[in-house]
Chain A
Amino acid sequence: MNAISLEKTEFTPRVIFDHVNFKFEIEGESSPEDARHFYAPLLKWIEDFGNYLHFLYSDSPTATKRDIVFTFHLDYVTSSSLKNLYDLLVKIESLKNYTDHLLIRWVHDADDEDMEDNGHEFSKMLKIPFEVVGA
């Protein structure tokens, strides 16, 4: 499988999904015209990543499972993006079978109560450890 590396644009975030270096980050603004179109390949990638880990650990059952940390640092999201981010987080949740430590790090600007609230809201809705951090 290939890593995803998307540059930040005016309306879409920077995305790094790197299964080799285990670096997973989404950073910037998310207000694209078609949020479903933007997030669909990211959802697919997470699914493929889960399959990749499944085969990796099936072939090497004694291999040490690596920590998986997804960092979200979004400074503005539309409601359609929120919906797709939720779907992405649900997909990420399925990765918990392939690691002993799965964590969502939700970073928000210090005076951005709305983004902080979004983090807390998602943390209540999902069964994965969430760290909501002000930057």
Chain B
Amino acid sequence: MTDLFPKEMYLDYTGVIDFTRKKELITRLSHSLQGMEINSGMRKRMIYVLEELLSNSHEYYKKRGLPDEQITLILEQNENNELEIQLSNTVLKEDSASLLEKIELINSLVDEQLQDLFEKAIVSDLTNNFGGGLGLISIRMKTGAEFRVDLIEKNEFQNILNLKTTLNLNI
């Protein structure tokens, strides 16, 4: 299979996340993809996955009053021609168990079940607040890949949540 992309890191960022920074990172990814032989649908999907992951962190920090907390984002192509996105952010220990449970649930579902969950989430009022999970559900549906996740203790009250997903770029 001919590589469609040079094997390189597309994004490597550590810093705060807000709406403007999120859009800057998306623009940087868009620029990296210019000149690549991928259709616009796949391009949009890549941007969508990145945006939803960043929105997740941003919304969480907003709701939990953590505006100065940072994220670490690494976006690169792996040897299987997959886009690998790894996002690390701070989570409160009191939220960690429920977040892990939600991710495990999303990972455990097959297509039809994900569809059902997506429909339930989209009609629920919870999706207008963090924790509704619509973004993570839709990422799982679009990538077809399970999230890889782990938690590392940061301090007495906080953990670092490392979340990784992949998007198959082979066409």
B45 closest partner in A (C-beta): A114
Partner of A79 from B23, B39, B45, B52 at Cβ < 8 Å: B52
Please tell me if B127 contacts chain A, counting CB pairs below 8 Å: yes
Contact partner of B41 (CB less than 8 A), chosen from A36, A114, A121, is: A114
- Smallest Cβ distance from B58 to chain A, in angstroms? 9
The secondary-structure label for the interface of chain B is helix
B152 adjacent to chain A (CB < 8 Å): no
Closest chain B residue to A34, Cβ basis:
B19
The complex places the Cα of A91 from the Cα of B12 at a distance, in Å, of: 42
Contacts of B127 in A (CB 8 A): 79-80, 83
Q: Contacts A83-B127, A86-B122 given: A78-B41 contact, CB under 8 Å?
A: no
Name the segment of B76-84, B96-104, B134-142, B161-169 touching the other chain: B134-142
Separation of A135 and B115 alpha carbons in the complex (Å) = 25
Say yes or no: A80 contacts B55, CB within 8 Å: yes
Q: Does A7 contact B (CB under 8 A)?
A: no
Give the complex CA separation of A86 and B52 in angstroms: 18
Give the complex CA separation of A2 and B132 in angstroms.
Answer: 34
Q: Which stretch from A12-20, A62-70, A94-102, A105-113 is at the chain B interface? A: A105-113
Determine if A111 and B41 form an interchain contact, defined as CB atoms under 8 angstroms apart. yes
Tally of chain A residues near chain B (CB < 8 A): 19
B48 pairs with A112, CB closer than 8 A: no
The minimal Cβ–Cβ distance linking A62 to chain B, given in whole angstroms, is: 38
Interface residues of A in 22-72 (CB under 8 A from B): 31, 33, 36
B47 interface residue, CB < 8 Å from A? yes
Partner of A78, one of B39, B51, B123: B51
A111 to B122, CA, bound (A): 25
CB distance from A115 to the nearest CB of B (A): 8
CB nearest to B56 among chain A residues? A79
Q: Chain B residues near A11: list those with CB within 8 A.
A: 23
A59 nearest CB across to chain B (Å): 35
Residue of A nearest to B55 (CB): A78
B119 interface contact, C-beta 8 A: yes
**Chain B residues within 8 Å of A112, by CB:** 40-41, 44
Nearest residue (CB) in B for A90 is: B123
A121 proximity list for chain B (CB < 8 A): 115, 118-119
Instruction: Evaluate contact between B138 and A79: CB separation under 8 angstroms.
Output: yes
**A-B complex: 5 closest residue pairs judged by Cβ atoms:** A33-B19, A79-B134, A79-B135, A111-B41, A83-B127
